[in-house]
Amino acid sequence: MPSVSLVIAAYNEAESLATVFQRGLKVLQDCTEDYEVLILDDGSTDDTRAVAHALRDEHASFVRVLEHDQNQGIRVTFEELYHGAAKDYVFDVPGDGEFPPEVLREIMPMLNEYDVVICNRVFRNYTVYRKLVSFAYRWLPRLLFRVDLRDPGSIKCRRREVVQDIEVKSRSVFAEAERMIRAARRGYRIGTVNIEPERRVGGQARGASWKNVLGSLRDMLVLWLRLVILRQKP
The CATH number for 88's domain is 3.90.550.10
Is residue 181 in some structural domain? yes
- 194: β partners: 120
> Could you give the CA distance from residue 182 to residue 175 in angstroms, rounded to a whole number?
11
Q: Among residues of the chain, what percentage have pLDDT more than 70?
A: 95
142 contacts: CB under 8 Å, gap ≥ 6: 148, 149
Question: Does residue 234 lie within any of the structural domains?
Answer: no
* Residue range of the domain that includes 33: 4-229
pLDDT digits (tens, 9 = 90+) for 168-207: 999 999 999 999 999 999 999 999 999 998 877 655 555 5
99 assigned to some structural domain:
yes
The structural domain count of the chain equals: 1
Kindly state whether residue 156 falls inside one of the protein's structural domains: yes
Do 157 and 59 contact (CB within 8 A), yes or no? no
Let me know if residue 32 belongs to a domain: yes
Instruction: Give a yes or no: residue 218 inside a domain.
Output: yes
Instruction: Give 126-166 pLDDT, tens digit per residue.
Output: 777 777 877 788 889 899 999 988 888 899 999 999 999 99
Predicted TM-score (pTM) of this structure: 0.91
SS3 label, residue 80: helix
In the sheet where 116-121 sits, what is the strand order?
Answer: 63-68, 35-42, 4-10, 89-94, 156-159, 116-121, 190-195
34 domain-assigned: yes
- Give pLDDT tens digits for 92-112: 999 999 999 999 999 999 999
